[in-house]
Amino acid sequence: MSDTILELNNLHTHFFTDSGEIPAVDGVSFHVNKGEVVGVVGESGCGKSVTSLSVMQLVPSPPGRIVSGEINFKGENLAFASEKRMRQIRGNEIAMIFQEPMTSLDPLYSIGNQLVEAIRMHNKSSKKEARLKAIEMLDLVGIPRASEVVDEFPHQLSGGMRQRVMIAMAMACDPELLIADEPTTALDVTIQAQILDLMRDLNKEKDTGILLITHDLGVVAEMCDRVVVMYAGQVVEEGTVREILKDPKHPYTKGLIRSLPNLHEKEQKLYSIPGTVPKVTMNSVGCRFAPRCEYAFDRCFSENPALYETEDNRYARCFLYDNFEEQEVATHVGTDSRS
Amino acid sequence: MSEPILEVNHLKKYFDIRGGIFGKKVGAVKAVDDVSFTVNEGEILGIVGESGCGKSTTGKALLRLIEPTEGEVKFNDQDITQVNSEEMRKLRRDMQIIFQDPYASLNPRHTVEKIVAEPLLVHGMTNAKERKERVKELLEIVGLRAYHASRYPHQFSGGQRQRIGIARALANNPKLIVCDEPVSALDVSVQSQILNLMSDLRDQFNLTYLFIAHDLSVVKHISDRVGVMYLGRMVELADKDELYENPKHPYTQALLSAVPVADPDETGERIILQGDVPSPSNPPSGCPFHTRCPQAMDICQEVTPTFQDHSDQHYVACHLYE
Ligand SMILES: Nc1ncnc2c1ncn2[C@@H]1O[C@H](COP(=O)(O)OP(=O)(O)OP(=O)(O)O)[C@@H](O)[C@H]1O
Ligand SMILES: Nc1ncnc2c1ncn2[C@@H]1O[C@H](COP(=O)(O)OP(=O)(O)OP(=O)(O)O)[C@@H](O)[C@H]1O
Ligand code: SF4
Ligand code: SF4
Ligand SMILES: [Mg+2]
Ligand SMILES: [Mg+2]
């Protein structure tokens, strides 16, 4: 297990709002190995961003807070680490890029200023050297006129260029883990292809582990080694890209894949999952997917499923895979045994 | 072959850029620049292209929600750019629009009843009881319940709000609906519900759609023919299977190859375009795509290629095919 750089263990991050406590991240466990690209997929509101913000301790607080669980980064539990420690980690050992780069670029400083600062945090170079390095990196991420852009401000750049600047910043700090939260969702496909290419280079050349959050299964197929599927705050299954896309186990994952319009098929009617994602509260009982699940049976409405082992050694949070003899084993593996 | 219901000829929309203390005109954004196409009755014409290429402007100019700068828009053989506002108001019964953002396009202070009934009232259904009946019927058509009528938009999910938008558009039995990114803001599982609903409604009411989106798989799924726009121009248009299997324009080829496919066995070569889309206020000379085109030739910098039928209703604007 020495090559595991990030391991979430039964993480609970809740929001304490006027209308009650919301378990936005409800017992999430998964890991990222060195040099691996792990995708987190799921529909809007399922807790992808809150999971990644938890790792960085950037959950807006109040109302949000990590309630319990572990976030092991290279053997150190960051779940309750001090702000001082987190400042050393952020943008250093762990870099993060967001869907909207404007939120993490400072509008008041030139691109060059921000890059130079990131570079100098890492190696003791003069301002002049760092500036040259900054131009080189902008060039590397495919920014035209890099020597001019270095003196421009974030608002002067297009969305795709800003995202490239963010990647240049992430590269400047040579992180061991890059968390990318929907890095290409706001971009056009041809620009998306450029950005994904850059991220792949970073992963291959520097062996950077990447936690890629997306709702686009196409992006997942293209980028990821493994995939974690989330639904309503919980991991419902996990597997290699091939396992998840070709042989999904959980009814939700199955439905999601069948709902996709496909560029190469000529089906007339799309499959669709009825209903919408439920709002989860502390008192929710039963499988969270039950109201939309075509396989649901009585038990699904009265008990919370754990992660059960399937016959081919995978895990799915679904009673269809609960084999009574092995239930004891399964609840040990299961990450959420609260009721 | 059905008849064209809509014929667009040389449509242009330029937005003035004003500057200086006197707000003098200092330039123009060529949002739509000489676009021509037809839409046949009962068909779904998809329009794809990247952000800012002029899809929404085209859609709005067709309905004169913004005034075209130049060009002709013939709806059932009548050039609607020439009609007066009273006639236009009547024509709007037949021509509707659905927007991307169901949140922004519904008045948050009005009940669903009021939102859906409004176009009925505008077009002369003065009897309140009749309107109520019609609203109920419309809600059921789009998969909502009659009791939803008394609720407010914020009480619905994104997909349900889009259903409300569709109910409103259907109120007066339109013939043509411009759908501007109707599913782009929705999650995959809800997106497929709305796409299926829209296909069903087309069949049920013999509707014609101009379906704008940037997701190429969505457009392929729902459309009969597809047009590709780049920097205010239509660069290619063909039957959907022909376009997706045999794209001719280098931009269409790049666009299609850039779409990530949710299949780990699909390892098609991708064409990675360099650079960003140029600004429509200062588009490149000649072919607007020449700054990024992997196959650009000398002529491409100087001469704008014409949009013409290459073979069998497959239109392309590219010097490679002239
Ligand atoms: N500031 C907040 N206050 C209260 N609840 C919040 C807040 N932020 C997030 N949540 C809750 O956490 C849940 C998960 O949100 P999160 O942003 O992680 O979703 P996501 O999976 O990233 O969705 P998307 O695909 O839309 O980005 C939401 O459904 C919401 O209930
Ligand atoms: N009212 C306006 N005034 C000035 N420029 C405008 C106006 N509306 C649109 N534009 C410009 O016209 C161009 C085309 O815009 P349009 O909204 O039609 O693009 P689009 O293809 O719909 O893009 P998207 O996919 O982002 O919706 C853009 O460069 C835009 O900035
Ligand atoms: S536990 Fe029941 S409701 Fe949940 S996914 Fe499995 S079959 Fe469906
Ligand atoms: S006209 Fe020239 S630049 Fe334009 S798409 Fe064709 S080959 Fe490329
Ligand atoms: Mg998110
Ligand atoms: Mg638009």
**Is A218 within 8 Å of B220 when comparing Cβ atoms?**
no
Does residue A134 belong to any structural domain of this protein?
A: yes
| Residues of chain A neighbouring B256 (CB-CB closer than 8 A) | 263
Distance in Å, CA A44 to ligand 5 centroid: 7
Is residue B72 pLDDT above 60, yes or no?
yes
Query: Nearest 5°: CA angle at A168, between A166 and A171?
Result: 110
Query: Residue range B83-94: average pLDDT?
Result: 91
For residues A97 and A180, give the distance between their C-alpha atoms in angstroms, rounded to a whole number: 5
Instruction: Please tell me what DSSP assigns to residue A232.
Output: T
Backbone phi, psi, residue A165, to 5°: -60, -45
CA distances from A227 to A5, A237, A244, A305, B69 (A): 16, 8, 7, 20, 50
Domain count of the fold of chain B: 1
**Is B188 within 8 Å of A245 when comparing Cβ atoms?**
no
Query: Residue range A25-54: average pLDDT?
Result: 94
Q: Which of B195, B259, B277 sits opposite A218 (nearest CB)?
A: B259
For residues A217 and A245, give the distance between their C-alpha atoms in angstroms, rounded to a whole number: 8
* Residues β-bridged to residue A73: A6, A76
B42-76: string of b/e by CB count within 10 Å (b at 16+)? bbbbbbbbbebbbbbbbbbbbbbebebbebebbbe
Q: A235 is written with which tokens?
A: 């991991």
Does residue B102 belong to any structural domain of this protein?
A: no
Element holding A15 (H helix, E strand): strand A4-17
Per-residue pLDDT tens digits for A117-151: 888 877 778 989 999 989 988 887 878 788 888 99
Is residue A331 pLDDT above 70, yes or no?
no
Does residue B137 belong to any structural domain of this protein?
A: no
Is residue A328 pLDDT above 60, yes or no?
no
Query: Residue range A188-208: average pLDDT?
Result: 88
Strands A209-213 and A234-240: unpaired
Distance in Å, CA A301 to ligand 3 centroid: 9
| Residues of chain B neighbouring A197 (CB-CB closer than 8 A) | 272
SS3 state of residue A41: strand
Pocket of ligand 4 (CB under 6 A): B 249-250, 287, 289-290, 293, 295-297, 300, 305, 318-320
Q: What is the CATH number of the domain that holds B40?
A: 3.40.50.300
**Is A43 within 8 Å of B188 when comparing Cβ atoms?**
yes
Is residue A334 pLDDT above 80, yes or no?
no
**Rg of chain B taking only CA atoms, in angstroms:** 21
Better pLDDT: B223 or A265: B223
**Is B276 within 8 Å of A216 when comparing Cβ atoms?**
no
Does residue A129 belong to any structural domain of this protein?
A: yes
Nearest to B168, CA basis, from B110, B101, B96: B96
Per-residue pLDDT tens digits for A229-279: 999 999 999 999 999 999 999 999 999 999 888 777 666 788 889 888 888
Distance in Å, CA B32 to ligand 6 centroid: 12
Mean pLDDT taken over chain B:
91
Nearest to B179, CA basis, from B101, B81, B72, B73: B101
Does residue B178 belong to any structural domain of this protein?
A: yes
**Is B262 within 8 Å of A266 when comparing Cβ atoms?**
no
- What range defines the domain where residue B22 resides? 4-94+172-315
Per-residue pLDDT tens digits for A271-306: 889 888 888 888 889 999 999 999 999 999 999 999
Does residue B157 belong to any structural domain of this protein?
A: no
- What range defines the domain where residue A162 resides? 101-174
Does residue B145 belong to any structural domain of this protein?
A: no
Measured in Å, how far apart are chain B's first and last C-alpha atoms?
Answer: 28
**Is A189 within 8 Å of B195 when comparing Cβ atoms?**
no
pLDDT at residue number A102 = 67
CA distances from A316 to A43, B262, B265 (A): 18, 21, 24
For residues A240 and A39, give the distance between their C-alpha atoms in angstroms, rounded to a whole number: 10
Mean pLDDT taken over chain A:
88
Does residue A126 belong to any structural domain of this protein?
A: yes
Is residue B139 pLDDT above 80, yes or no?
yes
Domain count of the fold of chain A: 1
pLDDT at residue number A213 = 95
Could you say which ligand is closest to the alpha carbon of residue A40?
1
| Nearest chain B Cα distance for residue A103, angstroms | 20
Q: Which of A62-71, A135-144, A315-324, B219-228 has the lowest mean pLDDT?
A: A135-144
Query: Nearest 5°: CA angle at B51, between B48 and B57?
Result: 75
Per-residue pLDDT tens digits for B110-134: 999 999 999 999 888 889 999 999 9
Instruction: Please tell me what DSSP assigns to residue B144.
Output: -
Q: Which of A170-179, A207-216, B173-182, B225-234 has the lowest mean pLDDT?
A: A170-179
| Nearest chain A Cα distance for residue B260, angstroms | 4
Does residue A4 belong to any structural domain of this protein?
A: no
Does residue B269 belong to any structural domain of this protein?
A: yes
Could you say which ligand is closest to the alpha carbon of residue B289?
4
Q: Record the pTM.
A: 0.88
pLDDT at residue number A104 = 75
Among B306, B318, B321, B322, the mutation site with the greatest number of ligand 4 atoms within 8 A of its Cβ is B318
pLDDT at residue number A324 = 57
Which residue type occupies A181? D
